[in-house]
Structure 1
């Protein structure tokens, strides 16, 4: 091992040669993604003494988190740090941040993810994009001897690596939902410039929105965060479009919310709508976008066929994300036909039945596929369900690491305490608008507007 936590590059080639002689156990576990859940997986593997390699497409730990580094999360530091990662960091002399502080995405990287990635050393490789996963010498159809064949991982640079198991924590950040209703792209969607969720409205992107008319589409906390930021821009005109008949779910529990910062977010948003600072369009089903001399015309067509139209300067899509399983198309996956999670996990996370606080503890058994040794974890494991929480992801990878180490008693002793907050999504049709589904494993319910009043808080729904 190199340093404390994993194989160095020189050790990978002998391991691959050994695997060709049947030494599957000599190969590393490959973790895809160096966000909070991926690095937590690495920490648990390190504690178990298992060789591993983390492959991250970005150029830093928490590369997707960096995309929303200006945004503050709802849960304080004490709920955002994985237990195994904390033990490794503290053994290396790291001092934890103020446990009650609500970090921004940038602070989450600087105070936790970057130090953890550095500690794990050469076992974490940046700038390596996984493009395909298979079994060495086996396509999806071939069965005999399959379980003993190592995983074959192909990267964007043409490199091929072998692994004994794969923990896919690549998230969903690079596969956003379409803007159009019914799960289909709106007509003209690809021909119009549409901004992603959570732009830095008060910082780097200020000039793009100041004095302009912006349409924000989506009913989740990413939309609320952006709307509150836009409301601070003098001269900005703001329209908010949602498919639901009311914004009650987005406003949330107010003072009753277990996370005060999130409750304040909904309260402030409601006040802006009621005062007229933000114009709310209910029952808006985006159907067509057309560039005009006056901006972009956005047309809604509801299920009855009735249309309404609005012309704006900018469009921000905060409609959430969905998993992309294409890299594993040659593996044998058993995906729920509705959510895209594993079939066993689907009833536990179904947003028609559960909010984020009522999802029961689950681990390796619920995450297993017919392809032994492949586990999608973190927000990707939830498919389209918006009920994922970072704490859930940490328990997932603890269980998977224990199973890979052969400690099935620990793997199946899954525990999770997530108090109900009453503001998590409970409707699948609207759920896709709520979630942010970041590749880091942080759900939409974590995000708070970067406002001076939102600096401290407590509780543990979504951390």
Structure 2
């Protein structure tokens, strides 16, 4: 891990109309950053690859977050929305991803676009960031030059814009980890992609029900998103008893796979773990542990079209475990960030997590939960490339414990530093729920839902925490995981 903290940006990189602050991603964290920039009068451009605000969140819009509205709205953004006629949701209720977009993210993007300081551009995918006229090897005069941001339109046309500073809040939603147990796609994974789904299906959709009902479904993954899937299929199996589930877990056991239960300070997330455990114990679920998929191929001993999954053996050239007769595979093994479009700028990333080196030790899932992460801001998120910051789910790299509240505080500190208010940037204060589990989603029972997000009784449905990941310029998804802050199904 790096022991040198990158310097704060110089005064010459203060945003101007000709060289604005550029924020990549119009998701929960990117829009929060824009709201903070607007409150400080900083000219800002938000670049979003999708066609609308919260595009990545819309992808998992059927999933209910386990964070209440009170934890999903940035305070400065709320102040911006208040004069527009926006009606704040009941702070004690829990939205779906779709609710989050329609009732907060979309109105916030519109409100920002209506100001003199902020422009939100859609269909603007960031494909490269560099210093003006410099590649990564050229050090001369580097820190005093503006950024050049390369942007691709939906028709493939590319343009360049100049920026004083860049906040990468693009998330990780477009980088789902593969089925393969070594981090690469398993042999045959691409060939059988039509039978493999990445993420949490909407089990209330009739087309999804038709796809999985009465089938043998393999579920790979052991986090909150996997719990969400197990609960959904367990519900499906009650009306379609021929449905079979094989739960493929890479770890040697599942004793700690269901989280904090009644001890979880995020009540809905604890309820998810309990519901998932009940689904496994009472439903048509077979658990196969220490299974790291190596091969996906047609099963010669089963019905036509069924697959056989093989695990890496304990030793090379050994015989791995085999699961046959599989009709469908659901992969919920987490997400990874995409740094390829940052290859011409200087990054300092942890070798294991792909997170900023200054932050990695504070978020490692081996010894930190969402609530035990040390409050942090610009000092841990700035990169050696002066004026470049990673924020939101992107800043957590491969760690799944991100919460939306964390991202809101990150952006407050980052924007303060960009504005030259170093005292405010250093003043990071955040209290998070203490829990032994991070990320994940689950079902609300009637009490936890407390009337649902719109004041009506909410039927049991999948929930998840914040978003997951997004491509350059995509909304912070905040991907499958329940969230206490909300970024996608895998963040708060």
Moved more, 289-298 or 393-402: 289-298
Q: What CA distance in whole angstroms lies between the structure 2 residues aligned with 1:246 and 1:161?
A: 51
Cross-structure match for 1:9: none
The answer to whether the aligner puts 1:300 opposite 2:311 as a matched pair is yes
Name the residue aligned to 2:164: 164
Q: Any conservation in 2 of the 1:323–1:383 contact (CA below 8 Å)?
A: yes
Distance 1:32 1:23 in 2: 18
Name the structure 2 match of 1:429. none
Q: Aligned runs of 1:86-125 on 2, under 5 Å?
A: 86-121=78-113, 123-125=119-121
Q: Give 1:447 deviation, angstroms.
A: 5.9
Distance 1:41-1:414 versus aligned 2 partners, 3 A rule = same
Asked if the contact 1:33–1:56 (Cα under 8 Å) also holds between the matched residues in 2, the reply is yes
The equivalent residue for 1:314 is: 328
How does 1:149-188 map onto structure 2 within 5 Å?
149-156=145-152, 157-188=157-188
Structure 1 residues 266-281: aligned runs within 5 Å: 266-281=273-288
Query: Is the Cα–Cα contact under 8 Å of residues 356 and 424 in structure 1 kept in the other structure?
Result: yes
Cα distance, 1:370 vs. partner? 1.1
What's the CA shift for 1:88?
Answer: 0.5
- Structure 1 residue 438: Cα displacement: 3.4
> 2:478 — aligned with what?
442
Match in the other structure for 2:406 = 392
Identify the residue that residue 286 of structure 1 maps to in structure 2: 293
- Note the alpha carbon deviations across 1:409-437, whole angstroms, 9 max, x for none: 00010111013112238xxxxxxxx9973
Q: 1:202 is matched with which residue?
A: 204
Deviation at 1:272, TM superposition (A): 2.1
1:197–1:218: structure 2 CA closer, same or farther, 3 Å change rule? same
The RMSD of aligned alpha carbons is 2.2
Residues 178-207 of structure 1: CA deviation (Å, up to 9, x unaligned): 211122321111111221111112215222
Q: CA deviation at 1:443?
A: 6.7
Pairwise CA distance, 1:444: 5.1
1:213 corresponding residue in structure 2: 216
Secondary structure at the aligned position of 1:182 is classed as coil
Q: 1:15 aligns to what?
A: none
1:306 offset after TM fit, Å?
4.3
Distance change (3 Å), C-alpha of 1:447 and 1:342: closer
Shift in alpha-carbon separation, 1:144–1:250, aligned structure 2, 3 A: same
User: Does the alignment pair 1:374 with 2:388?
Assistant: yes
Distance 1:261 1:391 in 2: 16
Select the residue among 56, 70, 78 that pairs with 1:64. Answer: 56
Residues 254 and 167 of structure 1: CA distance in aligned 2, closer, same or farther (over 3 Å): same
Residue 352 of structure 2 corresponds to 338
Tell me, yes or no, if the aligned pair for 1:368 and 1:375 is still in contact at 8 Å.
Answer: yes
CA shift in 2, pair 1:375/1:161, >3 Å: same
Write the distance in 2 (CA, Å) between the matches of 1:150 and 1:313.
Answer: 53
Q: Is the 8 A contact 1:321 1:435 kept in 2?
A: no
Q: In the superposition, relative to structure 1, how do residues 335 and 385 fare at CA in structure 2: closer, same or farther (>3 Å)?
A: same
SS of the residue 1:132 aligns to? strand
CA distance in 2, matches of 1:435, 1:104: 10
Q: Structure 1 residue runs of 4+, over 4 Å off?
A: 21-26
1:110 and 1:184 mapped to 2: Cα distance? 36
Q: 1:309 and 1:161, CA in 2 relative to 1: closer, same or farther beyond 3 A?
A: same
CA pair 232-23 structure 1, distance change in 2 beyond 3 A:
closer
Q: 1:436 to 1:241 in 2, by over 3 A?
A: farther
The structure with higher relative contact order (CA 8 Å, sep 6+) is 2
Q: Aligned pair 1:137/2:151, yes or no? A: no
Separation in 2 of the partners of 1:153 and 1:172?
19
Q: Aligned with 1:272: secondary structure?
A: helix
Q: Which runs of 5+ in 2 are unaligned?
A: 1-11, 440-464, 471-475, 485-489
Q: Residues of 2 paired with 1:254 and 1:150: CA distance?
A: 49
| Preserved contact between residue 15 and residue 21 of structure 2 (Cα < 8 Å) | no
> Which of 32, 40, 56 is residue 48 of structure 1 equivalent to?
40
User: 1 CA distance for matches of 2:403 and 2:314?
Assistant: 32
- Which of 205, 223, 227 matches 1:224? 227
Change (3 A) 1:82 1:435: closer
In 2, the alpha carbon distance for the partners of 1:269 and 1:300 equals 24
Residue number among 237, 252, 255 corresponding to 2:244 in the alignment: 237
Work out the CA distance in 2 between the residues paired with 1:370 and 1:224: 38
TM-score (ref. length: structure 1)? 0.87
Corresponding residue pairs, total: 423
